[in-house]
Amino acid sequence: MTSATNDDRVLSVDVSAGVARLTLDSPANRNALSRAMRAQLRAALTEAFADEAVRVVVLDHTGRVFCSGMDLAEATGGAAADQGVNEFPELLQLIWNAPKPVLAAVRGPARAGGVGLAAACDVVVAGAGASFAFTEVRIGVVPAVISAVCRPRMLPHVVHRLMLTGEVFDAATAAAGGLVDLAVPDDEVDATVAAQVTALAAGAPSALAETKRLLRSGTDLAGQFPALLQLSARFFAGEEGQEGIAAFREKRPARWVPTGE
């Protein structure tokens, strides 16, 4: 499979024994969904899905963080049309509608778009060290795009509370709420992923593809995304979004946070 040069590579790809393991490998920015990450992930997924030798795709990560969401450095100062979130629906649909099973191995924090990336997968395995949060409202934006893949997975009252509060929640809470399929001790993540890969690869390729299509048929992502994307991009570029992004990067409270004075 093709990949970027070592100087600009943020995703590593390994294909072996019918498994394509795509590893988010940009720990310096907490595996954020930067322009480079989106492009390399899209290209690697497309290639894996087209490769007849690949039966299962695994999304993994290096470093402490699974994925911190959109790259806020790239989101600073841009107009709505220039926000990186505009490319995110295509990536989520690529995973959601893939003819092959996609498994996410979450070993650390997943935030905002990182939660959406995991939610788009067919199976999510999370270690005890994983944590999750819909942090969008706390930086003045809306979890609009990722709602299209999170809401079908999660219990309505759970996703309602967690998207409104932006609270951090652990793997056990994520499993109880439907976001995570298998929550296991950290030292059992590899074995659990391997067992799930074996189970998934035991299915006939065409039967798996058709079963996945059948299971996804009740959710019209393509129909939802235009309005959701417009909402998301508007808030990223808007006054609250830009203030929240600046506050996050400057490690200070946003101006709407009550001070208690």
Residue 121, domain CATH: 3.90.226.10
| Number of structural domains the chain divides into | 2
Do 127 and 159 have their domain in common? yes
| Position 131 in a domain | yes
Query: Tokens standing for 242?
Result: 């830009």
Do 109 and 167 have their domain in common? yes
- % residues pLDDT > 70 (the chain): 94
Total residue count of the chain as it appears in this document: 261
pTM here? Answer: 0.92
Do 24 and 92 have their domain in common? yes
- pLDDT at position 256 is 94
- Residue 101 domain boundaries: 11-200
Choice among 136, 240, 243, 261 that is catalytic: 136
Q: Which of 84, 71, 46 is nearest to 229 (CA)?
A: 84
pLDDT (tens digit, 9 = 90+) per residue, 81-92?
Answer: 667 778 899 999
Told to judge if 74 belongs to the known catalytic residues of this protein, a careful annotator would answer no
Count of other CB atoms within 10 angstroms of residue 206: 9
Do 244 and 121 have their domain in common? no
pLDDT (tens digit, 9 = 90+) per residue, 158-179?
Answer: 999 999 999 999 999 999 999 9
pLDDT (tens digit, 9 = 90+) per residue, 113-130?
Answer: 999 999 999 999 999 999
Strand partners, 171: none
Strand-by-strand arrangement of the 182-184 sheet: 11-16, 19-24, 56-61, 102-106, 123-127, 182-184
CA distances in angstroms from 15 to 20, 189, 229, 230, 249, listed in the order given:
4, 19, 33, 36, 37
Distance CA 165, CA 230 (A): 22
Do 187 and 210 have their domain in common? no
pLDDT tier at 2, thresholds 50, 70, 90: very low
Do 180 and 87 have their domain in common? yes
Listed residues 200, 216, 233: the one ending a domain: 200
Q: Is the pLDDT confidence value at 62 over 90?
A: yes
Do 128 and 235 have their domain in common? no
| Position 261 in a domain | no
Q: Is the pLDDT confidence value at 3 over 60?
A: no
Q: What is the pLDDT averaged over residues 247-253?
A: 93
From the centroid of its chain, how far is CA 23?
A: 13
